[in-house]
Structure 1
Amino acid sequence: MRRSLLFRAALLAAGLAAGPVLAQDAGTARPPEGMFAEAERYHEGRGVLQNFGRAAELYRAAAEAGHAEAQNRLGQYLHTGLGLPADRAQAIVWLEKAAAQGDPQHVFDLARVLEQGDPDAQARAATLYAQAAEAGHQEAMVSLGVMYQNGTGVAQDYARALDLYGGPAAAGNARAQNNLGLLYVRAHGVEQDYPRAVSLFRAAAEQGLPIAMTNLSVMYANGFGIEQSDALAEFWARQASQVRQDAVSALAPGAPVCLFDPRLQEPATDSAGLDALSRGAEGGDPVALFLAGWLACSPPGTTAPDPRRAARLFRAAAERGSGPAMLNLARLYIRGYGVPQDFVLGYMWLTLAGSAGIPASHAEDLLRRMTPAQVNEAQERAAVIWQRMPPL
């Protein structure tokens, strides 16, 4: 998709090189560190329009020059299909190259991909997790513990799992705490100890781990290791459901749909103030359009909201370069409030808002719920719209 004519036109309009990125200018090779740093900017949308396709090109150039972090990033891109077509075999090739340079995180990342493969790949993943664990990588310890607990890629060994979970659990790792709690509940490799399990589930639940919340709810419902309480069982079940719910965290029920720009003063809502605001909006002033949209979305007092009008006003302000309006328009699309729910358009406007200096805390949450094709399409659309916008 990133090679589409539309995307190529957007890149050319932006003045970006569509060809190889290995040369800054005639006869001058770019150092891999510089290419990786530029790739990170495009990956994060830091000072530029976020563009995973452009980031992938730069990561590849730096990776081919031997940059370990770029090799790891390129492998992850190929595994997920962000910025370029997914290719598991090539993903493993690049993750292998990065892991061979010894960084425990890179070894762990390779193991996570191999663990999703056949039994031979799973056995190799266990070996790699052990390598990273020996270097002190806590998540590798936990993942290896899970493999021993389940007998995946290794012979099932509860005592080994117990040992692997111990250090990370004591250090506050929520996954380790939850899994260790399960060993105590099931008496796997250790004597059954419900109170100890409850303590571990609670520690993990208080860090926001939904499976631990569910497990704690079960303990309360049955009175295992703690005084039975239907109310607390329901509370923790509800907490788990809320974390897992099919909504972006920043847009969960109860959270405001539209956010106010704290750099502005709230508009006066008397007749004179509203008249002045209306004139400004009709004249195309982006600040007035944003304020009018905010009033339509989140009116003070008892005035009924008008989400469709809010969407029209935010769109008009966004098309004139208003970052806060872009963010709110994105939130409307993500929630499906006043407009049809559309994650592609939501992420498109989040991308544009980020390039306008308005970061969105929920962008990563939305990203996890989208397919790579949807993300790539959103960024392609953002690149085209960005060319039509007035300079900031």
Structure 2
Amino acid sequence: MRAAVSALAITLALVSPAVQAQTDPLAAMRTAAEAGDMAAQLALAERFETGDGVVQNFARAARWYGLAAEAGSLQAANRLGRLHHAGLGVPRDIPRAIELLERAAKGGAAEHLHDLGLVLESTQTDDASLARAADLYRRAAQAGHVEAAVSLAVLLQNGTGVPQDFEEAARLYRQAADQGHLRALNNLGLLYVRGNGVAQDYERAADLFKAAADQGLPQALTNLGVLYENGFGVPQSDALAMQYYRRGGEGGGTKGAQSPQVIYDPRLAPPPTDQAGLKVLERAARSGDPVAEFQLAFMMLQQGTTDPRSAIRAATLLRRAAEAGHAPSMANLAMMYFRGSGVPQDYVIGQMWLVLAGSAGFDGATGLNAQWSARMTADQVNEAQKRAEAKWSEWRDAEN
């Protein structure tokens, strides 16, 4: 990476893989894991799965989970089973996933009961498996697992694996909705629209849909659009209906699946707005100062211009700052690749930069990672992680 000398007298710690390797905080953990310490193996696997202090890599996580699971860790068996179910870092293997999740569920942990139920529900079609999934959800829900309660309510609502029971489904949804659970808010709203298990109440349905829509749930946005189009529980409005339909089709509002348009570095003061300050900023960016490059790109993106030349220049500036190790620049560059703004749309490259941003210390990477990886295939996620590790190694080798 380029050396960073700030012409703006702002001192920031840019990531340096070479220095990090010399003071590797995970060295002791790696040594213990390689010596067969189950707790260290599990902890190292979790670090690789989340990208905490290392470049996120599901394949490496799976290796360490496998060793910990062989040593008897139920948590490791559960996590490895989830990776096999998703095909992340390992081949997608449903029988192997169920085998591992069954092993973990024997311990009775609510999370493990839920995870086994989820895989059975989503991959099996026979009545016995679906009934088993419902039972697992019920046991997890009784232990306080909210997501399991909502999943059980869905089965009760549809009569899948259990006799149909709208009233019990409504009770479970209501409990979860009171805690702000988005799927519960939306599904309870649907029960009020249809009068299933509750008295039909369009106004109550609209309130529930809006609570979920305000957090960006696409289904709730679309359902709220239907109510506005027909004037059910809300004043009829074709304009609002189209607005909600559009937001639902785009994946939600700004608080939900759609990520912030521009991410600023909280360590920095706001960029200059006066002409003298802007000239200094431009000069510093031309000289290769990554902080100035980031701030200049941020200002260009924040203006929301539709000029493609502006977006291309912003992407160029962010790429240079990202290559210099500036984590927020990596995150913003990732967003540009996800949206195809200033660069060809490429989820793999976008996810690569987001993984690197997390490894470089960007606090918001975890949430953004979850949002965008959900739109990708397992192969795309695995490829992005491989590229991120290769890029990290490239930076490390260049500094050695």
TM above 0.5, yes or no, is yes
Contact 2:98 2:116 in 1 (8 A): yes
Following superposition of structure 1 onto structure 2, how do residues 168-207 of structure 1 map, counting pairs within 5 Å? 168-206=176-214
CA contact (8 A) 1:129 1:143 kept: yes
The 1-side partners of 2:277 and 2:214 are apart by 50
Decide whether aligned partners of structure 1 residues 257 and 48 sit closer, same or farther in structure 2, where only a CA change above 3 A counts. Answer: same
Provide closer, same or farther for how the CA distance between residues 25 and 213 of structure 1 changes in structure 2, counting only shifts above 3 A.
closer
Superposed counterparts of 1:157-306, under 5 Å: 157-206=165-214, 208-224=216-232, 226=233, 228-231=234-237, 234-235=239-240, 238-239=243-244, 241-246=246-251, 256-257=261-262, 259=264, 262-263=267-268, 266=271, 270=275, 274=279, 277-278=282-283, 280-294=284-298, 297-298=301-302, 306=310
- Give the percent of matched residue pairs that are identical in Structure 1 and Structure 2: 45
Aligned with residue 134 of structure 2, among 114, 126, 142 = 126
CA distance in 2, matches of 1:272, 1:198: 49
TM-score, scaled to structure 2: 0.78
Post-superposition CA distance 1:183-233 (Å, at most 9, x none): 343333454444554454455445544434444444454444x3x5123x7
| Matching residue's letter, 1:128 | L
Q: Does 1:74 align with 2:80?
A: yes
CA deviation map 1:260-294 (0-9, x unaligned): 5642562576479637743x445444334434544
One-letter amino acid of the structure 2 residue matched with residue 310 of structure 1: A
> Unaligned stretches of 5+ in structure 1?
1-13
Structure 1 residue 98 corresponds to structure 2 residue 104? yes
1:317 aligned partner, one-letter code? A
Q: Separation in 1 of the partners of 2:382 and 2:333?
A: 19
Q: 2:377 aligns with which of 357, 364, 371?
A: 371
**Residue from 32, 36, 42 that aligns with 1:29:** 36
Give the whole-Å Cα distance in 2 for the aligned partners of 1:175 and 1:250.
15
CA distance in 2, matches of 1:264, 1:204: 34
- 2:363 corresponds to 1:356: no
Deviation, structure 1 residue 320? 2.3
RMSD (Å) for aligned C-alpha atoms: 3.8
Q: 1:327 to 1:96 in 2, by over 3 A?
A: same
Match of 1:46 among 32, 52, 58: 52
Whole-Å separation in 2 of the counterparts to 1:127 and 1:325: 47
Q: Which runs of 5+ in 2 are unaligned?
A: 1-20
- 1:107 maps to which of 109, 113, 130: 113
Q: Distance in 2 between matches of 1:299 and 1:136?
A: 46
1:191/1:320 CA distance change after superposition, 3 Å: closer
Rounded Cα–Cα distance in structure 2 between residues aligned with 1:258 and 1:204: 24
CA distance, structure 2, for counterparts of residue 206 and residue 256 of structure 1: 17
Measure the CA separation in 2 of the matches of 1:215 and 1:199. Answer: 11
Which amino acid counterpart does residue 242 of structure 1 have in structure 2?
R
- Report the more deviating stretch, 185-194 or 328-337: 185-194
Offset of residue 101 of structure 1 = 0.6
Deviation at 1:29, TM superposition (A): 2.6
The answer to whether structure 1 residue 335 and structure 2 residue 351 are counterparts is no
Q: Which residue number in structure 2 is paired with residue 149 of structure 1?
A: 157
- Please give the alpha-carbon distance, in whole angstroms, between the structure 1 residues aligned to 2:207 and 2:253: 29
- 8 Å contact from structure 1 (residues 79, 91) kept in 2: yes
Q: What SS does structure 1 have at the residue aligned with 2:376? A: coil
Aligned residue for 1:362, secondary structure, equals helix
Is the 1:81–1:87 contact (alpha carbons within 8 Å) kept by the matching residues of 2?
A: yes
Q: Which residue of 1 aligns with 2:148?
A: 140
Which is worse superposed, 253-262 or 169-178? Answer: 253-262
Residue 311 of structure 1 deviates from its aligned partner by 2.2
**How far off its partner does 1:162 sit?**
3.7
Q: State whether residues 330 and 354 of structure 2, in contact with CA within 8 Å, keep that contact through their aligned partners in structure 1.
A: yes
**Which of 1 and 2 has higher RCO (CA within 8 Å, sep 6+)?**
2
Q: Deviations over 1:118-177 (max 9, x none)?
A: 123212211211222232333222222211221212232334434444433455444334
Write the mapping of 1:55-66 to structure 2, written as runs, cut at 5 A.
55-66=61-72
Q: Distance in 2 between matches of 1:95 and 1:56?
A: 14
| Distance in 2 (alpha carbons) for counterparts of 1:174 and 1:168 | 9
Equivalent AA in structure 2 for residue 29 of structure 1:
G
Amino acid at match of 2:165: D
